[in-house]
Every structure is written in structure tokens, then in C-alpha cells.
Amino acid sequence: MKHILSARQFTPDYHAELFEKAEEMRLKRADPDERRVLAQRHLGLGVGIMFYEPSTRTRMSFEFAAGYLGATKAGSENAGEYSSAIKGESIEDTTHTIGKMAAAMVMRHKQTGAADIAAGQNVIPVLNGGDGSGEHPTQALLDLYTIQAEKGRLSGLTVVIGGDLKNGRTARSLAVMLSHYKGNKLRFVSTPDFRIGQDIKDHLAISGTGFSETDDMYTAFEGADAIYWTRLQRERLESIIETEDIPLLPPRYDNAEQAVELMWPHMLSLTQPDEAKPVPAMTPSHFIINQAALQVMEHDTIIMHPLPRVDEIDMSVDADPRAKYFDQVENGLYVRMALLDDILKDV
């Protein structure tokens, strides 16, 4: 049974095949006759789409992908509350239930390893739509597809990956995928508290992929082929705060502004989860991609982001031809159509 669980499971050959199919999907979607034919392709099959964490792009692109291929989709966009999970049903039982009705299941969950639990039931192909601070393999596939489309290659690249690398699952999955190609160099940009996990560094070391870590965004940008920027995963920090009782404003900072500049976690003290209050800047100013940052990039550097963006890329950057984050969204649709087609054709 084919599951999509981790960036580690794919080979460059698999990527090449998948991207060829994604390209085919792109062309077919652009042709009204082909589009109608495509919409007959998996008629009568179902895809369960269970999201226990918020999502716009991943959930909607899976839903559109299933529909554009003729499959029926059902599930929940707030499965933690609107599915039987709230009554205490286990992931195992939910998987067996969906397995009786559908041909594949897409799942996003706040718990790292949740998709592996579902796949372990072996009743239905499971696609991991993001599991806690673990992995987001389908996002990394579309990121890779975008790099291939824009740069024409996936090896010998210098890629900057920045932001909350400790909690951001897309950065983790992308780093792993890039390490499966020769000659790539990764530059990780974050504050020391948000460095990428040791498990990823070990994977890079084993595969012989060179990497460096810095908190100097400007130096890292010099000569880069691609910059992959991510947001602070605030929702994951809140759960840490609840359990570990981290002091909100450590005494070594003289004022709140200084704290914002120096350390992300402590910014939570300034961003009360009170909807009525305006949310102040989330990102320290030296981690915001703005017009000044564009000046140090090469003319052909591409700027990527899995989205959602909060304030770590200034909106004025969107008009720059190097900004590719909304193209990534469209590419995600074709990549997910290719993935679902590949899985549904075996049913």
C-alpha cells in the first residue's frame, strides 16, 4: 500500500516521474476538453480529507485535486472538533472507518507521527498533510517542483532556509529532499532558539550535504539560488509555554522592543491571544524580507514561502519577479493531482 508520509521516502527518480505527471496535469487543466476528460478519470472513488489543524492551501488543493480528477471528497476541515475525535475516537478507529468508505485519506494533525499511526493500520493509503513539528512531505514536493521549474535543476544549488526551523515542518521536509541531490548547499537562518532539529542535521551529514547555520540573513542571501522563508510557528510555542512555564520577558531585556528584536519566544508576551487587540510585529526586523533585503539578492534568486505569511516578507516584495510564493500554490495543485492520480490508479 502506497503511503506518503515523509520526505525521506522518495528518490530523485520518483520525483522526476511525479513532476512529469504534474506537468501533464498543468497542461490538461489548461485545455477545456482535456479538463473534462480528467474529471472522468477517477469517478466513483472517494478521498477522505481530515484536517485536525487549520489549513487553507493544503486542504483546498487536495480537495480541488480530488474533484478535478473526478473523485468524491468528504471529511472535516476542523476534525478535532467536528469529527468523532471530540467524543474520544482514536486515530486508529477513524482510519478504519474512512478505509471502509474511501480509496485514500489525507490527514493533517497536530501530533507528530499521527499520519504514521494511520498508515500503520494498513487499510487505506494515507497522505500526510502535515504532522505537528514533524513533516510536510507534499509541501516539500511542490517546493521542489517549483525549484525545478524555476532553476531548471535540483542539484548544485545554494538554498537558504530561514525562520522558525525548530517547529516548521515544511523547512524540515524540504531540507531532507534537497539532500538527496548532489552538490546542494544549505544555509539555515534563525536565532539560536529556532535552529533546525538534530535529526535533520544528522540526515544531511549522512548524505554528505553541506550546511551552515547563522542568524545573519543578509550574508546568507549573497549568491543564493533560492531563499525559502517561513513564519514563526506561534501556535506550537503556545503549547510549549503552557507546559514549560517559560518566562515571558526575561530580565536581561530592558524593554519589550528589545526583546522583540532579540528573541522570538518572548514576543508571545506582546501578542496576547486576544482577538480585539491589534497583533504587533511577530518577526524581528532583521528577519523580515523587504526592499533592503532584495538589494543583496542576485537578480535570479527565487524567493519562496510555504505560506501563510505573517509579516516576515513585506508585501512590497510580492511585485518583484523573484517572488514565487503564489506560484508555489498553483504548483501544489498539479503536484497533488499527480500524487492522487498515482494512488487512485492502483485502487
Which residues does the annotation mark as catalytic?
57-58, 87, 108, 136
Using CB atoms, what's the residue nearest to ligand NCD? 306
Range in contact with ligand NCD (rule: CB under 6 A) among 1-9, 62-70, 196-204, 305-313:
305-313
297 lies in the site for ligand NCD, by CB under 6 A: no
# of chain residues touching ligand NCD (CB under 6 A): 12
- For residue 155, what are the β-bridge partners? none
Among 21, 41, 57, 110, binds ligand NCD (CB under 6 A): 57
Instruction: Choose between 57 and 185: whose C-beta lies nearer to ligand NCD.
Output: 57
* Spatial distance between the Cα atoms of 192 and 171, rounded to a whole number of angstroms: 16
* Spatial distance between the Cα atoms of 239 and 241, rounded to a whole number of angstroms: 5
Range in contact with ligand NCD (rule: CB under 6 A) among 11-19, 179-187, 189-197, 306-314:
306-314
Range in contact with ligand NCD (rule: CB under 6 A) among 19-27, 38-46, 290-298, 303-311:
303-311
CB atoms inside a 10 Å sphere around CB 237:
22
Contacts of 325 (CB under 8 A, 6+ apart): 303, 304, 305, 306, 307, 309, 313
Q: 114: which DSSP letter?
A: H
169 lies in the site for ligand NCD, by CB under 6 A: yes
Gyration radius of the chain over CA positions: 20
Contacts of 211 (CB under 8 A, 6+ apart): 175, 185, 186, 187, 188, 201, 204
CA 333 to chain centre: 14
Q: 315: which DSSP letter?
A: G
Q: How far is the CB of 136 from ligand NCD (least distance, A)?
A: 5
Could you tell me if 75 and 50 are in contact, meaning their C-beta atoms sit under 8 angstroms apart?
A: yes
Among 58, 128, 190, 283, binds ligand NCD (CB under 6 A): 58
Q: What is the footprint of ligand NCD within residues 216-235 (CB under 6 A)?
A: 230-231
4 lies in the site for ligand NCD, by CB under 6 A: no
Among 26, 28, 42, 136, binds ligand NCD (CB under 6 A): 136
Q: Which residues here bind ligand NCD, judged by CB under 6 A?
A: 57-58, 130, 136, 139, 169-170, 230-231, 306-308
